[in-house]
């Protein structure tokens, strides 16, 4: 059972706390994350500022709390786009097979041949960096693994007796795909999506760190980390705190995904 998996429980608890912080950021954050006070610049952690301040005197804890909203929203929506595109292509390729499968899988192979970070950088450089563009680009460059996973599952499921029986009774392809096959591939899709959220958050942080992600003054973990880069020698807290946020969040999503994978594997036996 999932409740016996300690790593899964730890991941769930951490993500639940993170979600509460993100939802209640307006009330929980001790300061306005955009308030500039140069007289308070680069203060080390203290009672007044638990995680110190940045070069503009803004409270780092408040910026990280508000940044959790951005990270979670981008992670979930980007993965939603990736799952939607990948599931659609994987379903078409696996169900119809033949030349449809050949064309779609060659397209998937071509997309996977491009290093993802360079593809992301190229697209973001063409488009205007914004939260909406980042969500869309991460989703549209991260669906290939989902497509291959769904295709493999569909190839196995479509030959089972209940699918053959549906065909004999005259069920349409759409009915078979949506009512018989798709529900049986939702488990692997859910695991892939859970693991993908952590990857999307990490990707957004990398883009923001490079200055191509969420643009200042909007706080995100990546641009807080980038702001700390220029003051690394004198303000260690500016890089440590957002780095730990990214680390524990990605790790928690991975533990959540692994717990679901283990549980679904036992359920399927």
Q: What is the DSSP letter of 3?
A: G
> Is 115 part of any domain?
yes
Cα separation values, 214 from 58, 114, 121, 135, 220, Å = 17, 24, 13, 10, 7
Residue 267 pLDDT = 56
How does pLDDT run across 10-35, given as a tens digit for each residue?
A: 889 999 999 999 999 999 999 999 99
> Is 124 part of any domain?
yes
**Residue 169 — pLDDT band, cuts 50, 70, 90?**
confident
Cross-strand bridge partners of residue 59:
53
Residue 233, SS3 per DSSP? coil
> Is 29 part of any domain?
no
Give the residue numbers spanning the domain of 144.
Answer: 2-18+52-267
The tally of domains found in the chain comes to: 1
Residue 264 pLDDT = 75
Tokens matching residue 124: 């973001």
Residue 130 pLDDT = 80
> Is 127 part of any domain?
yes
* pTM (predicted TM-score): 0.89
Contact yes or no for 80/139 (Cβ under 8 A): yes
Arithmetic mean of pLDDT, 32-46: 91
Task: Give dist(CA 31, CA 48) in Å, integer.
Answer: 10
How does pLDDT run across 79-90, given as a tens digit for each residue?
A: 999 999 999 999
Integer-rounded Cα radius of gyration of the chain? 22
- Mean of the per-residue pLDDT values of the chain: 88
Phi, psi dihedral angles at 201 (to 5 degrees): -60, -40
Task: Give dist(CA 201, CA 72) in Å, integer.
Answer: 7
CATH number of the domain that residue 181 is part of: 1.10.3720.10
> Is 93 part of any domain?
yes
Using CB atoms within 10 Å of the CB of residue 232, give its burial: 0 to 12 exposed, 13 to 18 middle, 19+ buried.
exposed
Percent of the chain with pLDDT over 90: 48
Task: Give dist(CA 248, CA 254) in Å, integer.
Answer: 10
Q: Is the pLDDT of residue 242 over 70?
A: yes
Residue 268 pLDDT = 52
**Residue 235 — pLDDT band, cuts 50, 70, 90?**
confident
């Amino acid at each position: 059972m999932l409740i016996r998996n300690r790593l899964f429980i730890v991941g769930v608890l951490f993500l639940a706390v993170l979600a509460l912080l993100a939802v209640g950021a307006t009330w929980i954050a001790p300061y306005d994350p955009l308030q500039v006070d140069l007289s308070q610049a680069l203060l080390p952690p203290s009672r007044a500022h638990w995680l110190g301040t940045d070069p503009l005197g803004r409270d780092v804890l408040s910026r990280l709390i508000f940044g959790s909203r951005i990270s979670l929203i981008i992670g979930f929506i980007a993965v939603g786009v990736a799952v939607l595109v990948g599931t659609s292509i994987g379903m078409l390729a696996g169900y119809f097979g033949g030349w449809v499968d050949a064309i779609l899988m060659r397209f998937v192979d071509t997309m996977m041949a491009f290093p993802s970070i360079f593809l992301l950088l190229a697209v973001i450089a063409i488009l205007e960096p914004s939260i909406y563009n980042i969500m869309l680009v991460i989703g549209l460059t991260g669906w290939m693994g989902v497509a291959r996973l769904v295709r493999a599952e569909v190839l196995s499921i479509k030959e089972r007796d209940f699918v053959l029986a549906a065909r004999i009774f005259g069920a349409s392809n759409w009915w078979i795909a949506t009512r018989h096959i798709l529900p049986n591939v939702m488990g692997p899709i859910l695991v892939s999506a859970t693991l993908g959220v952590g990857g999307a958050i990490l990707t957004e942080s990398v883009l923001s760190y490079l200055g191509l992600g969420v643009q200042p003054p909007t706080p995100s973990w990546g641009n807080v980390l980038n702001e700390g880069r220029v003051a690394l020698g004198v303000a260690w807290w500016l890089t440590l705190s957002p780095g730990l946020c990214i680390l524990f969040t990605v790790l928690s999503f991975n533990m959540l995904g692994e717990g679901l994978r283990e549980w679904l594997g036992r359920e399927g036996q």
